[in-house]
Amino acid sequence: MILAATADGVHDIETAETVLDGHDVSFLARRATESWAVVGGATVMRDARTGWREVARLERGTGLVAHPISNHRLLIGTTGAHVVRVDDCDVERLASFDCVPGRDSWKNPAAAGRPDVWSIASDRGAVFVSVHVGGLWRSRDDGQSWTNVLVPATDVHQVAATDGLIGVAAERGFGFSQDGGDSWTWTTDGLHAAYLQCVAFSDDAVYVGASSGPFADDAAVYRASPTGSRFERRSTGLPDGFAAIGPYHLAAAGDTVAVAAWFANTVLTSRDAGETWAPVAHQFPTVHSLVPG
In the DSSP assignment, the letter for residue 40 is: T
Q: Is the dihedral of CA 201, 4, 118, 98 positive or negative?
A: negative
Which whole number is the average pLDDT over 157-175? 97
Q: What is the pLDDT of residue 91?
A: 94
The 10s digit of each residue's pLDDT in 4-59 is 999 999 999 988 899 999 999 999 999 888 999 999 999 999 998 889 999 999 99
How many angstroms separate the CA atoms of 84 and 80, rounded?
12
* Amino acid 206: pLDDT: 98
Inside any domain, residue 185: no
Assess if residue 180 is contained within a domain. Answer: no
Closest to 5 (Cα-Cα) out of 37, 35, 49, 40: 37
State the distance between the two ends of the chain, measured CA to CA, in whole angstroms: 5
Express each pLDDT in 106-164 by its tens digit. 998 888 889 999 999 999 999 999 999 999 999 999 999 999 999 999 999 999 999 99
Would you tell me how many other CB atoms lie within 10 Å of the CB of residue 96? 15
Number of H helices, E strands in the chain: 1, 28
Residues in the chain: 293
Q: What is the pLDDT of residues 231-288, one digit of tens each?
A: 999 989 998 778 889 999 999 999 999 999 888 889 999 999 999 999 997 889 999 9
| DSSP annotation string for 207-272 | EEEEESSTT-S--EEEEESSTTS--EE--BTS-TTPPP--TTSEEEETTEEEE--TT-S--EEESS
Helix (H, G, I), strand (E, B) or coil at 95: helix
Whether 31 is covered by a domain: the verdict is yes
Q: What is the pLDDT of residue 282?
A: 80
Q: What's the pLDDT score for residue 240?
A: 79
Structural domain tally of the chain?
Answer: 1
Per-residue model confidence (pLDDT) at position 183: 98
**pLDDT the model gives residue 144:** 96
Query: What pLDDT does residue 189 have?
Result: 98
Euclidean distance between CA atoms 177 and 138, whole angstroms: 13
d(CA 259, CA 250): 5
Q: What is the CATH number of the domain that holds 55?
A: 2.40.10
Q: Is 181 helix (H, G, I), strand (E, B) or coil?
A: coil
Query: What is the Cα–Cα distance from 73 to 13, expressed in whole angstroms?
Result: 27
Interstrand relation of 9-12 and 18-19 (parallel, antiparallel or unpaired): antiparallel
Q: Which domain holds residue 89?
A: 1-93
Has residue 205 been placed in a domain?
no
Is position 153 within any domain? no
